[in-house]
Structure 1
Amino acid sequence: MPRATVDITPEGQRPDEDPSLAVRNNGGAPPSTEPAPAGRREALLLLSFGGPEGHDDVMPFLENVTRGRGIPRERLEEVAEHYHHFGGVSPINDQNKALIAALEKELSAAGSDLPVYWGNRNWAPYVEDTWARMAEDGIEHVYVLATSAYASFSGCRQYHEDIARARVATASPARPGGPTAEKLPHYYDTPGFVQANADALAAALATLPAELRDGARLVATAHSIPDTMAAVAGPDGHAYEAELMAAAERVVAQVAPDRPFDLVWQSRSGPPSVPWLEPDVNDHLRVLAQAGETAVVLFPVGFVSDHLEVIWDLDNEAKQTAEEVGLAFARAATAGTHPAFVESMRGLLEERRAGGLPRLGTDCPASCCFVQSHRRSPADTAANGRPQLS
């Protein structure tokens, strides 16, 4: 039976969005190699996707995400059931609050009183409102930490565009665009992100029966994206898939050196006519079972927190698939608020504030990872795809 789906992936821009906005309005400033000026009022912004906070928020949220794309109402109602299954609340909100609290504690312990703000692309607190609040608070420069560790249009460039849109909305004669901003670099290869994922993978392995642990297949998962987007390289020439492979290799090397693993994809969205990265995690589990594997451990290295996409796609659908094909199943946690991950984020921030040289392959201008959005017909919109859930 076809799943309730709708095309609400983050890679497409709404018709009212200008894809050159971030570049023209300098939404993300080039990394500075000079220390922050003494006395400048600075802040850290956690920038994320957003999600509903209750049953009444679900449809307005989905309408927000799909605005301008002609999605049929009945299709949105089907997808809304995913959220209603969890009380209408997206886990990403509490997870972001927990990460902010952890960052504030980490900064305070290091002797920093840098304020931490929170803004979202698709739901309150909207980044535009947060930017206005920072301007009112007298913040002059913002370091932006996005809840995506990798290069890609939706994982990096679109966050530059969110910043640009917020600066335009906050512009005034006295301070055009409000605070200046720079996005912190990709962090898929930072020691803390790798350590957090490695610890989670080890813990997941330990939940399997002892006789299955050594032979369990390790499978890294990440959000699938269109092939055309995946082919766009980041600042070091590495594309999304290469960065994910590099992160997964580091994680496995800490837990089970020289052990083979697979990188597969989840959360596919969009019309079937548009090629996306494959194989899908559920298809891969079936192939593993046919090949004689008896156990599998999934580690979602492509995600920062256990939001609805991770829970729905892995803890529900992938787990069910594993049971159907006779695979023992375990799923590792994401980085979340792991102390090593939080410490690495503080390190990135302090490195940037001190005017450290850009990190090779992880710093990028707002013009990186640009791809034109896929223009969809009503027929494509109604086609069976997978939603972006958060």
Structure 2
Amino acid sequence: MPEQCDPRPYDALLLLSFGGPEGPDDVVPFLENVTRGRGIPRERLKEVGQHYFLFGGVSPINAQNRELLDALRKDFAEHGLDLPVYWGNRNWAPYLTDTLRTMVQDGHRRIAVLATSAYASYSGCRQYRENLADALGALGAEGLAVPRVDKLRHYFNHPGFVRPMVDGVLASLAALPQEVRDGAHLAFTTHSIPTAAADTSGTPADHTRDGAGGAYVAQHLDVARVIADAVRAETGVDHPWRLVYQSRSGAPHIPWLEPDICDHLEERHAAGVPAVVMAPIGFVSDHMEVKYDLDTEATAKAAELGLPVARSATVGADPRFAAAVRDFLLERAAAERGAAPERCALGALGPGHDLCPVGCCPARAPRPAAAGADWRGPAEAPA
């Protein structure tokens, strides 16, 4: 097998995602899965579910994951990479435990995991690792072989993730009326999280205080800067930009990252900005937070203000992203075999770590988390 397409020691890839409802009857049970243990009344979940009911009770995320699966399998086949690709979700079918059970029954024992979250944070990394640990524990309790799972590194600054977003911003600028195009402001958006969680995101060396945002904010700022620089290089226009937030869901008394996108649109309009491009760099695909919070709520706010806006595309199943997944899968495989592969990364932060160290994106209540230096879970199968 050619070295550049050698996936050993891995015998399968798992696409691990959040999941979403695929019909009206799924919405409340899905939200019960997401909020399990928080004691939220069912009636409140029905209120929260209105975002989904506006779209027929269907989240776009599962269909988008199917498209990404197809893109990955196509890319792998075209490059002679003989590695099966499976899909499991944290909160809806196909459930992670069920998928891992199938993978074990199919004979897989060393699994690379791609999470559909590109940045470091508790909810974007460690919580996925906790779900992996839960699933592996369930398999062990069933008497099944427990595979070794390795989560692939954060890919926020990989060219195959960044370049499609650059093209999305360029396309959105081109879609604006010519008279406002050059003065357009770029609002790079991502999911707001509690400032306490942001400050402890990433490795202990990344942790900060007083709302500075740790690795979560630093990584987004680095990507936003790379995109803004690329747009300037290709258009000759230096568009002002800011990192802003959306989709806050926490209690009002708990500080979350700000400013919110709708507040930011009001502020930019008051400052005389002629147009805004909303670029959702924190999201892999156009799932519900993008479709509702940007395409519905923020777009309505802009219309109320009389402010022209355009929303750029997420990466989704772009072939360049599929190629990037192949890239960091094979680099991790080479590293596991003892090689020192070249790792692609744009911006100032460099490529991320392969193995999450102790203290990385900690939870408030410590729980076992697989695929990290602190994993002490079920006995793993030999490589």
The counterpart of 1:135, out of the listed 66, 80, 104, is 104
Separation in 1, partners of 2:246, 2:24: 25
Q: CA deviation at 1:41?
A: 6.1
Q: Which moved more, 1:264-273 or 1:75-84?
A: 75-84
Alignment CA distance shift 1:301-1:373 (3 Å): farther
Partner amino acid, structure 2, of 1:332: S
After superposition, what is the alpha-carbon deviation per residue over 1:158-181, rounded to whole angstroms, capped at 9, x for unaligned?
1111111111111169755x2101
The whole-number CA distance in structure 2 between the counterparts of 1:246 and 1:102 is 27
For 2:153 and 2:313, locate their aligned partners in 1 and report how far apart those are by CA, in whole Å: 23
Q: Structure 2 CA distance, aligned partners of 1:167 and 1:51?
A: 22
Matched, 1:294 2:248: no
The share of aligned pairs that are identical, in percent, is 54
Whether the 8 Å contact between 2:28 and 2:42 is mirrored in structure 1 is: no
**Which residue of the partner structure matches residue 362 of structure 2?**
370
Q: What is the CA-CA distance between 1:233 and the residue it aligns to? A: 3.9
Aligned to 1:92: 61
2:231 alignment partner, one of 252, 255, 263: 255
2:112–2:329: 8 Å Cα contact kept in structure 1? yes
Aligned partners of 1:357, 1:168: CA distance in 2, in Å? 32
Equivalent residue runs for 1:331-350 within 5 Å: 331-350=311-330
Query: What SS does the aligned partner of 1:88 have?
Result: coil
Residue of structure 2 equivalent to 1:182? 150
Change beyond 3 A, Cα 1:41–1:215? closer
Aligned partners of 1:50 and 1:120 also within 8 Å: yes
Whether the aligned pair in 2 keeps the contact of 1:51 and 1:122 (CA below 8 Å) is yes
Deviations 1:126-158 (A, max 9, x none): 100111100000001110000000000000111
Superposition pairs of residues 274-353 of structure 1, within 5 angstroms: 274-353=254-333
The answer (yes or no) to whether the contact 2:274–2:308 under 8 Å persists in 1 is yes
**Contact residue 160 and residue 366 of structure 1 kept, 8 A:** no
The answer to whether the 8 Å contact 2:7/2:329 transfers is no
| 2:122 equivalent among 144, 147, 153 | 153
Equivalent residues in 2 for 1:181-220, closer than 5 Å: 181-220=149-188
Structure 1 residue 189: deviation in Å? Answer: 0.5
Secondary structure of the corresponding residue to residue 171 of structure 1: helix
- Check conservation: 2:334, 2:340, Cα contact below 8 A: no
Answer yes or no: is the 8 Å Cα contact 1:217–1:296 preserved in 2.
yes
Distance 1:370 1:335 in 2: 28
2:195 maps to amino acid:
D
1:117 aligned onto 2:86:
yes
Instruction: Give the Cα–Cα distance (whole angstroms) in 2 for the partners of residues 131 and 83 of structure 1.
Output: 28
Distance 2:302 2:79 in 1: 45
Alignment length (residue pairs): 338
Residue 361 of structure 1 deviates from its aligned partner by 5.1
Contact 2:186 2:277 in 1 (8 A): yes
* TM-superposed deviation, 1:37: 9.0
| Conserved? CA contact 2:10–2:112, under 8 Å | no
Q: Secondary structure at the match of 2:98?
A: helix
Name the residue aligned to 2:200.
232
Cα pair 2:122 2:201 within 8 Å, conserved: no
Q: What's 1:8 paired with?
A: none
Q: Which has the higher contact order (CA 8 A, sep 6+)?
A: 1
> Shift in Å at residue 256 of structure 1?
2.0
Change (3 A) 1:228 1:197: same
**1:196–1:335 Cα contact (<8 Å) kept:** yes
Q: Which consecutive unaligned segments of at least 5 residues does structure 1 have?
A: 1-34, 375-390
Write the distance in 1 (CA, Å) between the matches of 2:7 and 2:39. 48
Q: Which has the higher mean CA deviation after the structures are superposed, 228-237 or 87-96?
A: 228-237
